[in-house]
Structure 1
Amino acid sequence: MFHSRLFGAALLLALASTANATSFVVTTDTVVRGVAASTDATSDVSSSFRDDKIVQAARDDAASFVASHGDIRGAKLESAFAHIRQQTPTLQASDAQLAQAILAL
């Protein structure tokens, strides 16, 4: 009787640790996919708008936007956001990601 309970407890512990490991892997995969999508969007913007005058003119506004965590939104930056979204309508990037991409140019 004691051995069967011990075996049952060991089996339960093994299954629980497997579930935790699987949960960790799924969570990690989700985070990595999100970061990869953000990086892809940022690199797409930075490579295609490197010489764009509207985007280049918004660099100072982008720096203020990033430094203020989105509280300061200059007119040139708003114009650049609209221009970027018009040129690449399939781009799924937030304003913060776009501002960081502008600064990375």
Structure 2
Amino acid sequence: MTRFTLLAGAALLALATSAAASSFVATTDTLGGLVANASESTSDITSSFNDDKIVLAARDDAASFVASAGGIRGAQLEAALRHIRTQAPQVRADDLQLAQAILAL
């Protein structure tokens, strides 16, 4: 092999490593932002609804929903999810996140 071929191969390897590292950083930044937004949404829920009778009545249904990974959806949980989304439309959380927040009350 010529010296030029070895240098070109080393340069390509360095570029590939740099691209992979920057891609990893961008991915972890994106995931970190999503987790922070979800956490902020659920903390808004817990502070706003900690004495709401509709939401508190759904705790057992929320526990079943979380334990079954969404397989069991009780009537009280459904009512609480509708109530939360009506009272706090700015909250951007899925049903599982809301059920977990209800359990945190």
Matches within 5 A, 1:1-105: 2-105=2-105
Q: CA deviation at 1:81?
A: 0.5
Q: Structure 2 CA distance, aligned partners of 1:64 and 1:7?
A: 61
Uncovered stretches (5+) of structure 2, i.e. residues with no partner = none
Q: What is the TM-score normalised by the length of structure 2?
A: 0.94
Q: Which runs of 4+ in 1 moved over 6 A?
A: none
- How many residues are aligned here? 105
Q: Root-mean-square deviation (CA), in Å?
A: 1.2
Distance 1:73 1:6 in 2: 62
> TM (normalized to structure 1)?
0.94
Distance apart, 1:68 and its partner CA = 1.1
Secondary structure of 1:72 counterpart: coil
